């Protein structure tokens, strides 16, 4: 009888923790690993010998979908909904973005944004799939939390010569 | 006297904490159900006539099928609008990735048709009332990641209570 009571209590605790955990992850923030070197040197610079960087992703930005130039965001890949990418926002709706490899200038449509990795030589981003809808964005990366010697805030870097808002 | 009031206080605080925790747990349960199982939506506007009425229907949408990637042609879905990420629109899936979709470019004025191939990881959505609907004919195929839920049950108005067919 006592053991049944124990298991019942344990299950209840387990479910409660799960519910609270999922809610915090979806509503407030989560910690995710950054794979690959598409955002080097901001994340995973070549000198990183301790494995991947872990970053803090905040979800409050999803209430209003207001972003600024230079924000680093997590979003679902437009071609595969099970994959998430971390990239930097270069252009917001209404901006004209210069594509680096051709002389084209593209206007970012309403409700979309132009995302690029910090390491242009190896990055799947808007240069290959075009502007992405803001609705695909899943959170904003604010800090690096692991490894310990790289803990710190992420800067909003904006390269001014690439965009112009007419 | 002092000890008694202390005891009263501590029991009051304990009760308040318990109550708060219970409410928090309930909200977490609500969030998880709403995000992973089933959500409630009110649809209005002319774009889904005659399936959904103009004045506003209360419908239930399940969120399991979109997550598993099993949404098929003919399903009525909730999609985060690619033009405004804060808006969720109701449309019908007309084509999934790899399909060829033929659509009327401007049904009000001409019979001109166009055929396009739906790209990988995208779906083609259209309103049932093609004369008054902003859908994939305006903004192109939408990424699967914007899918929010699949409508399956109509709750209001009561005379139409029941499952929503294909």
What confidence score (pLDDT) does residue A101 get? 67
Quote the minimal CA–CA distance from A51 to chain B in Å.
29
From residue A103, alpha-carbon distances to A2, A37, A98, A122, B60 in Å are 75, 26, 7, 20, 48
pLDDT exceeds 90 at position B165? no
What confidence score (pLDDT) does residue A57 get? 94
What confidence score (pLDDT) does residue A37 get? 81
What confidence score (pLDDT) does residue A73 get? 93
What distance in Å separates the CA atoms of residue B76 and residue A2, rounded to the nearest whole number?
50
B18–A contact, CB cutoff 8 A:
no
Q: Answer with the residue of higher pLDDT: B55 or B20.
A: B20
B65–A contact, CB cutoff 8 A:
no
Q: What percent of chain B has pLDDT over 70?
A: 98
What confidence score (pLDDT) does residue A42 get? 82
pLDDT means per 10 residues, chain A with 166 residues, are: 86 93 93 84 74 89 89 92 90 83 80 88 82 92 86 79 62
Quote the minimal CA–CA distance from A84 to chain B in Å.
10
This model of the complex carries an ipTM of: 0.83
What confidence score (pLDDT) does residue A98 get? 80
Residues 102-121 of A with CB under 8 A from B: 109-112
Instruction: Return the H-helix or E-strand segment holding A136.
Output: none
Tokens standing for residue A35: 């794979």
**Are the beta carbons of A79 and B119 separated by less than 8 Å?**
yes
Quote the minimal CA–CA distance from B5 to chain A in Å.
33
DSSP string, A86-129: EEEEEE-TTEEEE-SSSS-EEEPPTTEEEEE-S-TTS--SHHHH
A73–B contact, CB cutoff 8 A:
no
What confidence score (pLDDT) does residue A160 get? 60
pLDDT exceeds 60 at position B18? yes
Average the pLDDT over B130-144 and give the result. Answer: 90
Render pLDDT for B91-112 as a digit per residue (tens, 0 to 9).
999 999 999 999 988 888 888 8
- The pair phi, psi for residue A47, each rounded to 5°, is -80, 0
B31–A contact, CB cutoff 8 A:
yes
What confidence score (pLDDT) does residue B62 get? 93
What confidence score (pLDDT) does residue B166 get? 59
Average the pLDDT over B9-21 and give the result. Answer: 93
What distance in Å separates the CA atoms of residue A15 and residue B17, rounded to the nearest whole number?
20
Q: Which residues of B touch A19 (CB under 8 A)?
A: 25, 28-29, 32
Q: Answer with the residue of higher pLDDT: B14 or A149.
A: B14
What confidence score (pLDDT) does residue A166 get? 54
């Amino acid at each position: 009888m006592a053991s049944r009571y124990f298991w019942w209590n344990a299950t209840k605790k387990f479910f409660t923790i799960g519910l609270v955990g999922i809610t915090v992850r979806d509503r407030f923030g989560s910690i995710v690993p950054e794979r690959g070197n598409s955002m080097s040197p901001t994340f995973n610079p070549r000198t990183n010998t301790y494995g991947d960087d872990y970053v803090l992703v905040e979800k409050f930005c999803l209430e209003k979908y207001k972003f600024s130039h230079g924000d680093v965001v997590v979003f679902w890949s437009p071609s595969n909904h099970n994959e998430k990418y971390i990239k930097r926002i270069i252009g917001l709706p209404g901006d004209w973005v210069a594509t680096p490899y051709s002389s084209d200038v593209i206007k970012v449509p309403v409700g979309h944004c132009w995302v690029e990795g910090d390491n242009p030589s190896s990055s799947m981003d808007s240069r290959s799939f075009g502007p992405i809808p803001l609705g695909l964005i899943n959170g904003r990366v604010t800090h690096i939390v692991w490894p310990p010697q790289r803990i710190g805030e992420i800067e909003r870097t904006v390269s001014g010569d690439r965009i112009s808002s007419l | 006297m002092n000890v008694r009031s202390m005891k009263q206080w501590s029991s009051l605080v304990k009760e308040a904490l318990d109550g708060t925790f219970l409410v928090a747990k309930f909200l977490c349960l609500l969030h998880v159900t709403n995000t992973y199982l089933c959500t409630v939506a009110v649809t209005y506007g002319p774009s889904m006539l005659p399936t959904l009425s103009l004045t506003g229907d209360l419908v239930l949408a399940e969120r399991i099928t979109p997550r598993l990637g099993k949404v098929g042609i003919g399903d009525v879905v909730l999609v985060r609008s690619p033009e405004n990420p804060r808006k969720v629109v109701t449309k019908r899936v007309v084509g999934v990735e790899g399909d060829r979709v033929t659509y009327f470019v401007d049904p009000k004025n001409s019979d001109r048709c166009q055929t396009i191939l739906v790209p990988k990881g995208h779906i083609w959505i259209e309103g049932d009332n093609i004369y008054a609907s902003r859908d994939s004919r305006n903004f192109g195929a939408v990424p699967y990641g914007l899918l929010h839920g699949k409508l399956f049950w109509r709750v209001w108005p009561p005379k139409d209570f029941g499952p929503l067919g294909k």
